[in-house]
Amino acid sequence: MRTKFSQAQLADPDIRQAAEILRHCVECGAANATCPSYLVLNDENDSPRGRNRLIRDMLQGERPPDSATVAHIDLCLSCNACTALCLAKVDFMHLVDQARGTIEKTYRRPLPDRLLRGILAAVLPSPGLFRLALMGSRLARPFAALMPGRLKGMLRLAPRRSVRPSPVDRPQVIAAEGPRWMRVALLTGCVQQVLEPAINEATVRLLTRHGCDVMVAAGAGCCGALTHHLGKTEPTEDAVRANVAAWMREVDGEGLDAVVVNASGCGTMVKDYGHVLAGDPAWSERGARIAALARDVTEVMAELGLRSPACPEPLSVAYHPACSLHHAQKVRDEPKRLLADCGFILKAIPESHVCCGSAGSYSLLQPAVADKLKERKVARIGWVAPDVVAAGNIGCMVQIASATEVPVVHTVELLDWATGGPKPPALAG
């Protein structure tokens, strides 16, 4: 793609990176067909190629973007389907991240939008605040019909049961059962531990049963992805540095074989810590070391191998590949192979590579497109009529579960069950 950045602009490392990414784009439009926002909206400006052009014009223009440009970039789900498919290897993921940061710094959003984004950035990464917000949302649920669209959507996604803190999320070391094969840190995260504490509990049981000392590091918290996707650079880098510092204390102490992540949106972020901190000489090396240690829980389990898995019930499982795991991390076979090793009957969801519309806080900020993608996903799940849906990302689980009667569980909950753990709560009724 032709660009006209001035030499002065190219002196800025961020602009240089954007120019380099854009230079690779041959404007073929090949990735448009796989882009979920383009599938729903059928507008070139909501496709990867269209957004490349908008981002180029925005960065070249050196003035605040117009509201239409912001709207088209906001409508991107950061699903990475385009990055994964593009033969020219256009690194759209980092390009759109940079565009979001530029918008946040230069564009004044309307007040309700600013307020909502500010609340999401403050509440979601903090388990304490998020738990309080969910308690409030349960009280507000009877009045949902009176609320504006986006608030109504948030209430719909809030769980109906109480959200108890789990003891596994506290800083500690949980010893391996039997001989130790690995010492791993578990990212216990933020939103997931509140919405579905059973996931971290199943992960700890599964890992310790397979010979891992599992440590939850003091000082580690949200991975930073939620604020990163809102374009908020400062809180993102603060969260990233806090996690890097917490895990590096372990690396420099007893050592770590892996940082295990069981929410693939967070895993994509942690694997990118080297890039996030690349401009900070004091942190860049440590960021890159932690990024190199980051593994999805299914990658670790595929390496360890399941011990004597036995199918507890002959259930058919439709595995939903979260975009962050499938497109961004390219962890594609491990979850399916592990589920098949347990004896579950796998059912392939048609068009499974298309985003379910969750995408971090996207379903809260862009409910119209998110709902269309959810309906599309749930309809295709219905075609294969599984007993259960499995996914490796809490956002997808909540999104899909809000529109289907089929139980939705995390992949680790099934692996844990098949290797001696309890039945997942969603299946136990």
For ligand SF4, the binding residues (CB under 6 A) are: 25-31, 35-37, 48-49, 51-52, 76-82, 86, 88, 90, 92
Min CB(272)–ligand SF4 separation in Å:
14
Question: Which CB, 76 or 204, lies closer to ligand SF4?
Answer: 76
The DSSP symbol for 277 reads T
Q: Give the shortest CB-230-to-ligand SF4 separation in angstroms.
A: 15
Q: Cα(first)–Cα(last) distance of the chain, in Å? A: 54
Query: Least distance (Å) from ligand SF4 to the CB of residue 84?
Result: 9
CB of 79 closer than 8 Å to CB of 325? no
- Partnered with residue 183 across adjacent β-strands are 213
CB of 266 to ligand SF4, least distance (A): 18
Encoding tokens for residue 316?
A: 């058919």
**Which spans in 353-393 are helix H?**
362-365, 367-384
Which tokens in the block code for residue 159? 């769980």
Please calculate the CA angle 3-6-12 and round it to the nearest 5 degrees.
100
Listed residue (225, 236, 244) closest to 292, CA to CA: 244
Q: What are phi and psi of 350, to 5 degrees?
A: -60, 145
Burial of 142 (C-beta count, 10 Å sphere; 0-12/13-18/19+): exposed
188/361 with CB nearer ligand SF4: 361
DSSP letter for 298, please: H
CB of 382 to ligand SF4, least distance (A): 24
337, burial (CB in 10 Å: exposed 0-12, middle 13-18, buried 19+): middle
d(CA 6, CA 60): 8
| Minimum distance from residue 354 beta carbon to ligand SF4 (Å) | 9
- Name the residue nearer to ligand SF4 (CB basis): 3 or 284: 3
Using the minimum distance from each CB to ligand SF4, give the nearer residue, 209 or 377. 377
Contact 230, 213 (CB under 8 A): no
At closest approach, how far in Å is the CB of 31 from ligand SF4?
Answer: 4
Q: Decide whether 45 or 262 has the Cβ nearer to ligand SF4.
A: 45
Parallel, antiparallel, or unpaired for β 294-296 and 258-261? Answer: parallel
Nearest residue (CB) to ligand SF4, 52 versus 358: 52
- Closest CB to ligand SF4 among 80 and 193? 80
To ligand SF4, the closest distance from the beta carbon of 289 in angstroms equals 28
Please state at what angle helix 48-61 crosses helix 92-106, rounded to 10 degrees: 40
- Min dist CB 228 to ligand SF4, Å, is 14
What is the rounded radius of gyration, in angstroms, for the C-alpha atoms of the chain?
A: 21
Encoded tokens for 88: 């020219």
CB-nearer residue toward ligand SF4: 27 or 285 = 27
Closest CA to 251 of 273, 276, 278: 273
Strand order in the sheet with 212-216: 172-174, 212-216, 182-186, 258-261, 294-296
As measured in angstroms, the least distance from the Cβ of 379 to ligand SF4 is 20
Task: Please identify, using beta-carbon distances, which residue of 76 and 120 lies nearer to ligand SF4.
Answer: 76
**Whole-angstrom Cα distance, residue 243 to residue 38?**
35
Q: How far apart are CA 324 and CA 266, in angstroms?
A: 8
Give the nearer residue to ligand SF4 in terms of CB position, either 92 or 417: 92
35 vs 70, which CB is nearer to ligand SF4?
Answer: 35
Local structure of residue 212 (DSSP, 8 states)? E
Write the CA distances from 29 to 32, 46, 53, 138, integer angstroms: 5, 12, 12, 45
The least CB distance from residue 338 to ligand SF4, in Å, is 27
